């Protein structure tokens, strides 16, 4: 594996802890490279970005925008199919969600799934709920990070020096709560007269193989 920049433990814990309320946004990404790809620079298929502080001149600021700049700069091969997974400490704001959706509409050879640690609920940048629905309509899969994703990020993006991931108090409860909130946001048009679907507690996020991270890559 190529040497690449890893996040220090404190940065990860401060920013991805789903009980915290940090100001920054961190985005970790993984691109599954299809056979024959020569566009993604070696070692750049995994990495992380942070939003740029507002006082630093020049757009773009948000981590998602910086990621879109990065992936666009690779000029990915339209004949191949790329699967991108992002783990974001805050879900995209309305503006970023719209930009991500536009990227997906224009790049049908790229699929995107997003796991967010927390839901960004400030309306300063527009209707975040509509933004998330637009992003989902553009084909993105959106979910809340659970312990499996936190541990995966720890192992993949953090300079952990061999130490195992240590879940914090309330990780699972907060993740379940946020997952319910997200489901509510993404399915707002369900008739209120219908009873909620029952899912066993051990499977809080219904869906196909979406949650399996240990896919066939490699």
* Residues 82, 111 contacting (CB under 8 angstroms): yes
State which residue has the least CB distance to Zn ion: 96
CA 132 to CA 90: how far, in whole Å? 12
CA 90 to CA 156: how far, in whole Å? 19
CA 183 to CA 108: how far, in whole Å? 25
Q: Considering beta carbons, is residue 45 or 91 the nearer one to Zn ion? A: 91
Question: Which of the ranges 27-35, 72-80, 94-102, 197-205 carries the binding residues for Zn ion, by CB under 5 A?
Answer: 94-102
173: its two tokens: 């409860």
Among 7, 49, 84, 96, binds Zn ion (CB under 5 A): 96
Its sign, for the CA torsion 56, 101, 179, 155, is negative
Q: Considering beta carbons, is residue 45 or 64 the nearer one to Zn ion? A: 64
The radius of gyration computed from the CA coordinates of the chain, to the nearest angstrom, equals 17
Q: Is 86 in the site for Zn ion (CB under 5 A)?
A: no
Q: Considering beta carbons, is residue 22 or 204 the nearer one to Zn ion? A: 22
Among 12, 17, 48, 62, binds Zn ion (CB under 5 A): 62
For the bound state, the minimum distance from the C-beta of residue 150 to Zn ion, rounded and expressed in Å, comes to 22
Asked if the bond preceding 60 is cis, omega within 30° of 0, the reply is: yes
Instruction: Given the residues 2, 9, 14, 64, select the one marked as catalytic.
Output: 64
64 is catalytic: yes
Q: What does the binding site for Zn ion look like in residue numbers (CB under 5 A)?
A: 62, 93, 96
């Amino acid at each position: 594996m190529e040497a690449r920049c890893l996040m220090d433990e404190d940065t990860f814990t401060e920013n991805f802890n789903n009980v915290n309320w940090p100001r920054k946004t961190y985005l970790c990404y993984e691109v599954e490279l299809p056979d024959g790809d020569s566009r993604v620079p070696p070692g750049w298929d995994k990495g992380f970005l942070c939003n740029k502080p507002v006082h630093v001149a020049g757009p773009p600021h948000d981590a998602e925008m910086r990621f879109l700049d990065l992936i666009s700069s690779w000029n990915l091969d339209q004949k191949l199919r790329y699967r991108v997974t992002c783990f974001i400490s805050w879900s995209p704001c309305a503006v970023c969600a719209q930009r991500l959706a536009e990227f997906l509409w224009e790049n049908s050879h790229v699929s995107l799934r997003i796991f967010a640690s927390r839901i960004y609920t400030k309306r300063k940048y527009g209707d975040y709920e509509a933004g998330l629905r637009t992003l989902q309509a553009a084909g993105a899969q959106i979910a809340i990070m659970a312990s499996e994703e936190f541990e995966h990020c720890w192992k993949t993006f953090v300079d952990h020096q061999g130490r195992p991931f240590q879940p914090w108090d309330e990780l699972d409860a907060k993740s379940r709560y946020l997952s319910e909130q997200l489901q509510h946001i993404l399915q707002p048009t369900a008739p209120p007269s219908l009873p909620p679907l029952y899912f066993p507690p051990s499977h809080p996020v219904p869906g196909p193989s979406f949650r399996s991270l240990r896919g066939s890559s490699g």
